[in-house]
Amino acid sequence: MRQIDHFLAGGSPAASRFGDIMDPNNGGVQAQVALGDRAVLDKAVAAAQAAQPAWAATNPQRRARVMFNFKALVEKHMDELAEMLSREHGKVLADSKGDIQRGLEVVEFCCGIPHVLKGEYTQGAGPGIDVYSMRQPIGIGVGITPFNFPAMIPLWMGAVATSVGNAFILKPSERDPSVPNRLAELFLEAGMPEGIFQVVHGDKEMVDAILDHPAIGAVSFVGSSDIAHYVYNRGVAAGKRVQAMGGAKNHGIVMPDADLDQVVNDLTGAAFGSAGERCMALPVVVPVGDETAERLKAKLIPAIHALKLGISTDPEAHYGPVVTAQHKANVEGWIQKCADEGAELVIDGRGFTLQGHEDGYFVGPTLFDHVTTDMESYKEEIFGPVLQMVRAKDFEEAVALPSKHQYGNGVAIFTRNGHAAREFAARVNVGMVGINVPIPVPVAYHSFGGWKRSAFGDTNQHGMEGVKFWTKVKTITARWPDGSPDGGNAFVIPTMG
């Protein structure tokens, strides 16, 4: 059986524990991944410590050239990477290529790292005194990434962390670990020194070892909110810089003047694409007014029935299976819970089977109407192909719904009214806002991050926020005397007056 080992400088040690990697399309075990411990992490950290000083001393344009080379290699191997990703995750090939491409956009940003790393300079801040600042790497950073984006999120973290001069250790999800290993191989081929980008695999034992390790200066995490909170608290208690992105319950507000045909097209992709396994999915739609709700539902029902579920390699499939049998059971449990709570089950996706793949982890698209804010199924993240309709009586209620929710990752409003869109964007208590954009993931040179229980920490992913997270600022105040004493008192705090 195929075995995925750690990707370490000097090779991977023999493993004593392994985890099964399932095939979501048919329910079988397709490979095993080594599950590491503190000893494996120590080996990775030692290699990182040995390699990082020289990498940090490498001028930034040379580090940028590695990013240029890496980008070209990933594009060359795009089909191979997408097939590898789909095989383990279950998302369809087109979605896998999108996953990789969104990661590459951050790599493109990092190709300009020499400009981004320029510091500030003030000449003559005081008599003969100049002040300037520089950004320097943290040293060793770690990324702990989820199963749903095994290429994009590792690249969001790793590309920025290494391009600014850090060594980076990636702990990806043990459910789909092959793509992260392949990315590490391509970084080496692109010219990155051994020890600068390594991959360790593992479960909670490895995560705790990372959070407690004294040589690791920064940890970036993406996953569920409860685990994000745990990672943040334990990492900060150990003296680390931590950013921990959590779950979401993103709302899509539909105003009465919205183009409903466009809304339906956007909703079906945003709610059901990648089987709903996205932190920026749109699982809640909020039509404003009952008339809007009825018109929207009448258009949604045939559109949802027209969606095609298939295996991840089916080019005609809109989406594939969810990642594991346990997650399928969880999603179907939430469907039952929502129905038990009194919501109207308009389309039930449970019980879907695909001929020849009867043991695959498929969940059909599901639609609920008349969901209310007191329902647990509304309060919590389902992370599956389930769309819930929560009706709002007016614009004020529509703004309040996502603003009061425990999660604050993303939100969208669909309208032709510029004033309504502007008011909504300014007032809604959510970190990322789309105006007629259903999945408002910012471009790579801006930053990604939510509010409330969707994010713990003070900095966002990628863009300048990412650069700030992976670097520390040093400020220098310099004076070059002309040789004549100034008669000042050296024991008085200096001022620039």
- Asked if residue 267 and residue 199 are part of one domain, the reply reads no
Q: How many domains does the chain have?
A: 2
How far is residue 383's CA from residue 386's CA, in Å, rounded to a whole number? Answer: 8
- Do the domain assignments include residue 239? yes
- Asked if residue 298 and residue 152 are part of one domain, the reply reads no
- Asked if residue 122 and residue 45 are part of one domain, the reply reads yes
Question: Would the pTM of this model clear 0.85, i.e. be above it?
Answer: yes
**pLDDT tens column, 89-145:** 999 999 999 999 999 999 999 999 999 999 999 999 998 899 999 999 999 999 999
Distance of CA 386 to the CA centre of its chain: 21
CA angle (398 as vertex; 393, 403 as ends), nearest 5:
145
The two beta strands, 167-171 and 29-34, are: unpaired
- Do the domain assignments include residue 485? no
Which pLDDT score is estimated for 481? 83
CA distance readout (Å), 85 to 38, 118, 146 = 28, 36, 13
Q: Which domain holds residue 23?
A: 2-246+454-476
- Asked if residue 28 and residue 161 are part of one domain, the reply reads yes
CA distance readout (Å), 141 to 79, 196, 229, 293, 450 = 29, 10, 19, 47, 22
Which pLDDT score is estimated for 482? 77
- Do the domain assignments include residue 207? yes
How far is residue 250's CA from residue 364's CA, in Å, rounded to a whole number? Answer: 20
Which pLDDT score is estimated for 375? 98
Q: Where are the beta strands (DSSP E) in 415-462?
A: 432-435, 451-452, 455-456
The residue among 435, 468, 488 that closes a domain is 435
Length of the chain: 497
- Asked if residue 425 and residue 310 are part of one domain, the reply reads yes
Decide if 238 contacts 211 (C-beta within 8 A): yes
Please spell the DSSP secondary structure of 270-288, one letter per residue.
Answer: HHHGGGG--TT---EEEEB
Which pLDDT score is estimated for 491? 64
Distance of CA 227 to the CA centre of its chain: 14
Q: In this structure, what CATH number is given to the domain that contains residue 176?
A: 3.40.605.10
Decide if 223 contacts 144 (C-beta within 8 A): yes
Catalytic residues: 279
- Do the domain assignments include residue 481? no
The average pLDDT across 240-250 equals 97
Decide if 138 contacts 241 (C-beta within 8 A): yes
The single-letter code of the amino acid at 22 is M
Which pLDDT score is estimated for 497? 60
- Asked if residue 327 and residue 237 are part of one domain, the reply reads no
CA distance readout (Å), 91 to 87, 216, 219, 274, 363 = 8, 33, 27, 5, 13
Which pLDDT score is estimated for 178? 98
- Asked if residue 289 and residue 212 are part of one domain, the reply reads no
pLDDT score of 252 more than 80: yes
- Asked if residue 71 and residue 94 are part of one domain, the reply reads yes
Decide if 319 contacts 381 (C-beta within 8 A): no
- Asked if residue 428 and residue 367 are part of one domain, the reply reads yes
Kindly state the DSSP code that residue 309 receives in the 8-state scheme: B
- Cβ-based neighbours of 143, under 8 Å, separated by 6 or more: 153, 154, 157, 158, 161, 168, 169, 170, 171, 219, 220, 221
- Do the domain assignments include residue 496? no
Kindly state the DSSP code that residue 134 receives in the 8-state scheme: E
What residues pair up with 18 in beta bridges, in sequence order? 34
For the chain, what percent of residues have pLDDT higher than 90? 94
How far is residue 305's CA from residue 94's CA, in Å, rounded to a whole number? Answer: 21
Which run of H or of E encompasses 33? strand 29-34
Q: Where are the beta strands (DSSP E) in 188-277?
A: 197-199, 218-222, 241-245, 251-254
**pLDDT tens column, 322-373:** 999 999 999 999 999 999 999 999 999 999 999 999 999 999 999 999 999 9
Single out the residue of 403, 387, 375 nearest to residue 285, CA to CA: 387
How does residue 1 score in pLDDT terms, banded at 50, 70 and 90?
confident
- Cβ-based neighbours of 12, under 8 Å, separated by 6 or more: 5, 6, 34, 40
Distance of CA 359 to the CA centre of its chain: 29
How does residue 496 score in pLDDT terms, banded at 50, 70 and 90?
low
Which pLDDT score is estimated for 485? 62
Which run of H or of E encompasses 286? strand 284-287
**pLDDT tens column, 255-314:** 999 999 999 999 999 999 999 999 999 999 999 999 999 999 999 999 999 999 999 999
- Do the domain assignments include residue 288? yes
11 phi and psi angles, rounded to 5 deg:
100, 160
The single-letter code of the amino acid at 136 is Q
- Asked if residue 202 and residue 304 are part of one domain, the reply reads no
The average pLDDT across 393-402 equals 98
Q: In this structure, what CATH number is given to the domain that contains residue 354?
A: 3.40.309.10
The residue among 435, 467, 492 that closes a domain is 435
- Asked if residue 256 and residue 242 are part of one domain, the reply reads no
Which pLDDT score is estimated for 330? 98
pLDDT score of 490 more than 70: no
- Cβ-based neighbours of 267, under 8 Å, separated by 6 or more: 252, 282, 285, 300, 387, 438
Return the residue matching tokens 């979401």: 248
Decide if 103 contacts 156 (C-beta within 8 A): yes
The average pLDDT across 449-470 equals 96
**pLDDT tens column, 270-284:** 999 999 999 999 999
For the chain, what percent of residues have pLDDT higher than 70? 97
Average pLDDT along the chain? 96
Provide the total of helices (H) and of strands (E) in the chain, helices listed first: 16, 21
- Do the domain assignments include residue 493? no
- Asked if residue 170 and residue 70 are part of one domain, the reply reads yes
- Do the domain assignments include residue 65? yes
Which pLDDT score is estimated for 130? 96
Given CA atoms 486, 490, 491, 496 in this order, what sign does their dihedral have?
positive
